[in-house]
Amino acid sequence: MLARIRASLGNAAKHPAPAKLPPFVSQTLVTDGEKLTAEFESEIERVGGQVAHVHSSDQVTAYLSVLPLTGDESSVAISDGLLIKTLRIREWLLTRKTRVVTWQEMPSMEAYRRELLKCGIGVTCADYALADTGTVVLLSGREHHRLASLLPPVHVCLLSTDNIFPRLTSLMDHLSDEAYARERPPHALTCITGPSRTADIEQQITTGVHGPKALHVLLYSTETSKA
């Protein structure tokens, strides 16, 4: 198209056309569940995230109990994710006299944002994950989790091992098929790869400037460990 425009203006091309790129060869996708989980775990640790395998409510709360800011007079934000409700995370936090912040209990969104800034931890669920980059994916519409995953300095994310996809293209194929079966497709898709990092200041990598300083992914499965 650009060549035709130059020709119509009487301008000769200053540079020869670039060589064509070689054909893209897609790598063979890993589809085995255990291998996908292992790849995801390896990649998320490479980008500074922490991973643990949990199989019950007791194991989830045991993990949370060793994190700072989950005791007396602390504030923890939790989303309305189904897994969080099923595992009764809110009830456990209240037994530790932890102040629980949820969007449903706030008089306005602005008040909710202000309270989130006081929280040390945000606990959410992830809808999906990408094994090749160690990325957790949050969809809008199903769960109120985006702000809780961004504002507190520590993000704890519950992820079902059944929802790990090999890569983004595989997930997009799945979402495209799923969207036609739903009345309203999601308006936004948030991809989180490790803790927040930026090099805006003096080209030095700094964590926690634009989001959480730490990301903990709890890989949840009802199957007991084989170990």
Render pLDDT for 80-125 as a digit per residue (tens, 0 to 9).
Answer: 999 999 999 999 999 988 899 998 889 999 999 999 999 999 999 9
Nearest to 75 by CA among 97, 58, 56, 59: 97
Length of the chain (residues): 227
Query: 43 falls in which pLDDT band (50, 70, 90)?
Result: very high
Average pLDDT score over the chain = 84
pLDDT top residue among 20 and 30: 20
pLDDT, position 143: 80
Residues 189-226 as b or e (16 or more Cβ within 10 Å = b):
bbebbbbbbeeeeeeeeebeeebbbbbbbbbbeeeeee
Q: Which position has the token pair 């109990």?
A: 65
What element of type H or E holds 111? helix 109-116
Tens of pLDDT, residues 153-206: 999 999 999 999 999 989 988 887 765 556 666 778 899 998 887 777 677 777
Region of poorest pLDDT, from 43-47, 49-53, 103-107, 175-179: 175-179
Distance separating alpha carbons of residues 101 and 118, to the nearest angstrom? 10
pLDDT, position 226: 42
Distance separating alpha carbons of residues 155 and 122, to the nearest angstrom? 5
Domains in the chain, start-ordered, CATH in brackets? Answer: 35-220 (3.40.50.10420)
Which two tokens mark 18? 């670039």
Q: Check if the beta carbon of residue 78 is closer than 8 Å to that of residue 148.
A: yes
Which two tokens mark 3? 């060549």
